[in-house]
């Protein structure tokens, strides 16, 4: 979009309808259908995507963490896009990575990551020494190689007798997403499990806030 240029008037000039129409026409021809991001004071809008793992029913019909929300990656590497369906429910494996299925999305335009808000619903387990990892990642292909955009750690248990929400502190290392990128959220199992402790799947809620141009 070009800028509006109008010819100035001088004292004593006779204003006619044609002169007024020419000036208003010059304004209309530049504005109508041509406003772009360069001519907006705030060219970007904010949008938020939410993703989570949560409560469901186990195979016996009892309330439990919904394992349908997650699938395990096929290798111990956090960069792979391939899933391991055979071992999807095996949580008690050191350093294994798990994909939150509803986090796998494709960007609709170039975007900038503004912030990550992550919450863990800590459970009333006695074991509080295990540390999980949380990663927000992007890739050029849905099954391609993924790289970290934001990372954090959390403990899913509390010594209290009630479930307790807690914030997961996330550090953003790469805030740029292009329209060709896919993105996802992983959590990583601890690198060791204390004793005979059998873990539940973590209950996580993540909100990602982006800014993107109003117009393409």
Q: What percentage of the chain has pLDDT greater than the value 90?
A: 33
Residues 83, 28: Cα–Cα separation, whole Å: 55
Locate the domains of the chain by residue range. Answer: 1-35, 44-213
Q: What percentage of the chain has pLDDT greater than the value 70?
A: 84
**CB-side neighbour CA atoms (13 Å) of 196:** 0
As a whole number of Å, the end-to-end CA separation of the chain is: 13
Mean pLDDT of all residues in 169-194: 90
Looking at residue 93, what DSSP letter applies? Answer: S
Contact 142, 81 (CB under 8 A): yes
pLDDT, residue 56, reads 46
Angle, CA of 201, 202 and 204, to the nearest 5°: 140
At 188, list the tokens.
């990583």
Residues 6+ apart with CB under 8 A from 52: 69, 100, 102, 203, 204, 205, 206
Q: Which CATH architecture has domain 44-213?
A: Sandwich (2.60)
Mean pLDDT of the chain: 82
pLDDT, residue 62, reads 46
Q: Residue 59: pLDDT band by 50, 70, 90 thresholds?
A: very low
**CB-side neighbour CA atoms (13 Å) of 60:** 3
Contact 147, 78 (CB under 8 A): no
- The phi, psi pair for 60, rounded to 5°, reads -95, 5
Q: Regarding predicted confidence, which is higher, 213 or 146?
A: 146
For 188-199, write each residue's pLDDT tens digit: 888 777 666 666
What pairs with residue 135 in β-bridges? 151, 186
**pLDDT for 10 beyond 90:** no
Least confident segment among 5-19, 64-78, 137-151:
64-78
pLDDT, residue 61, reads 44
pLDDT, residue 84, reads 78
pLDDT, residue 57, reads 41
pLDDT, residue 30, reads 82
pTM (predicted TM-score): 0.76
pLDDT, residue 35, reads 75
pLDDT, residue 87, reads 59
Q: Regarding predicted confidence, which is higher, 113 or 40?
A: 113
**Residues present in the chain in total:** 216
Q: Residue 92: pLDDT band by 50, 70, 90 thresholds?
A: low
What pairs with residue 153 in β-bridges? 133
């Amino acid at each position: 979009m070009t800028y509006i240029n109008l010819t100035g008037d001088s004292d004593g000039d006779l204003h006619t309808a044609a002169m007024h129409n020419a000036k208003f026409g010059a304004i209309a021809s530049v504005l109508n259908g041509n406003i772009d991001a360069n001519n907006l004071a705030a060219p970007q809008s904010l949008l938020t995507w939410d993703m989570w793992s949560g409560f469901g029913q186990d195979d016996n019909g009892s309330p439990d963490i919904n394992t349908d929300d997650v699938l395990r990656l096929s290798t111990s590497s956090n960069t792979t896009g391939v899933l391991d369906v055979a071992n999807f429910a095996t949580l008690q494996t050191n350093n294994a990575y798990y994909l939150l299925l509803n986090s796998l999305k494709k960007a609709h335009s170039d975007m900038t990551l503004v912030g990550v808000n992550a919450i863990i619903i800590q459970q009333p387990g006695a074991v509080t020494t295990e540390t999980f990892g949380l990663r927000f990642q992007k890739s050029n292909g849905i099954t391609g190689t993924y790289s970290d955009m934001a990372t954090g750690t959390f403990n899913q248990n509390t010594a209290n007798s009630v479930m307790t929400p807690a914030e997961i502190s996330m550090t953003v290392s790469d805030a740029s997403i292009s329209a060709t990128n896919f993105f996802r959220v992983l959590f990583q199992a601890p690198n060791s499990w204390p004793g005979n402790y059998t873990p539940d799947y973590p209950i996580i809620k993540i909100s990602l806030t982006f800014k993107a141009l109003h117009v393409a």
